[in-house]
Amino acid sequence: MTASRALNTPEIVNPEMVERVRRAVLETGYVPNLLAGALASARSLLIAVIVPSIASTIYLEFVQALRGALASKGYQVILGESDYTHQSEPVLLEALIARRPDAIVTVGAVRSAEGRKRLIASEIPVIETWDMTSEPIDMLVGFSQEGVGRAAAEFFLAGGRRHPAIISASDDRAAMRAEGFLSRLRDCQPAVNVRSVLIPAPSTLGAGRRAFVELLDLYPKMDAVFCTSDMVALGVLTEAKARGMQIPADVAVMGFGDLNFACDTDPPLTTIRADGKTIGHEAARLILERAGHAPRVQTVVDVGFSIVRRQSA
């Protein structure tokens, strides 16, 4: 019992005894059995985070902020990859739920009926992020993806661009940004036929280059292009420079994400920023409040987004 207290609540144990126990741990290579501890306390101190792809850098800041805020309270984060097609989502959810984490955090709202049913039945706290939905499973921290697209359309229209186009990835959140962009343009210019090119997710620089070439063939009058990720926008800028085009004089370019290279492209990239750090901190706050049995005052947090104006548009 003394050894247990020295490891778990050292502040209530004599410092000399704590040091003796720690030396014994080092000498023996002892590692506590966390499964046994979890059974006793009904807490695993594990938080499961499901991202679409570990290759996508847009979620890096979010995961780091979430992990940092939780680590200070003794929690560890484990990552699961759902892939953009959601084909692996049911198996992944089953594996995570079986391990009984203290919370499950998802990038994007869970839209499949099967996934929602499993999460609700598990009674594990769920935080959906990077999205907005009128029917969250439990808690939600995000922003309107459709709103991002509408803001991009309004930005181009306010800048006098009348022949915009869009390059969109095939994942759910990019599709919502694209729909917001197209619907806002239809509202303002019903007669305009906006050209769009769909590329696979996750987005790549090469896919952005090829999609821009396709748009140039389809729509020679194009004077602006909205890319549903900064990586695609970087591909557009690369192809435009290779062709000797002037950005933004020939075509204005806007991305999404404000990734760490966006301010260093040539020209610097205009983009829409969603604050991944804030999303991570808010998700951690909700998890810790729930763990502390705080009253459910706020379960939906809209962090919004902002347009970062640079020379590409």
Angle (CA) 178 91 144, round 5°:
25
Q: Evaluate the omega torsion of the peptide bond into residue 15 and state whether it is cis, within 30 degrees of 0.
A: no
pLDDT tens digits for range 85-144: 666 778 889 899 998 999 999 999 988 888 899 999 999 999 999 999 999 999 999 999
Confidence check: pLDDT of 210 > 90:
yes
pLDDT tens digits for range 151-199: 999 999 999 999 999 999 999 999 999 999 999 999 988 767 789 999 9
More confident: 31 or 147: 147
More confident: 3 or 264: 264
pTM of the predicted model as reported, rounded to 2 decimal places: 0.83
The rounded distance, in Å, linking the Cα atoms of 131 and 20 is: 50
pLDDT tens digits for range 31-52: 766 555 554 545 689 999 999 9
Q: How confident is the model at residue 30 (pLDDT cuts 50, 70, 90)?
A: confident
The predicted pLDDT at position 301 comes to 96
CATH 3.40.50.2300 in the chain, residue ranges: 33-143+277-304, 145-273
The predicted pLDDT at position 39 comes to 47
Q: Any idea which residue has 């695993």 for tokens?
A: 44
Alpha helices in the chain (DSSP H): 2-8, 15-28, 34-41, 60-71, 89-98, 113-122, 145-158, 172-188, 205-218, 230-242, 276-291
Confidence check: pLDDT of 8 > 60:
yes
Q: Please tell me the CATH code under which domain 33-143+277-304 is placed.
A: 3.40.50.2300
167 DSSP β-pair partners: 197, 227
Domain 145-273 has CATH 3.40.50.2300: yes
For 66, residues 6+ apart whose C-beta sits below 8 A from its C-beta are: 47, 49, 77, 105, 280, 281, 283, 284
How many CA atoms lie within 13 Å of 276's alpha carbon, on the beta-carbon side?
Answer: 20
* H, E, C per residue of 179-198: HHHHHHHHHHCCCCCCEEEE
The rounded distance, in Å, linking the Cα atoms of 61 and 67 is: 10
Residue 313: name the closest of 256, 253, 264 by CA: 253
Q: How confident is the model at residue 70 (pLDDT cuts 50, 70, 90)?
A: very high
What is the chain's mean pLDDT, rounded? 90
197 DSSP β-pair partners: 167
Confidence check: pLDDT of 78 > 80:
yes
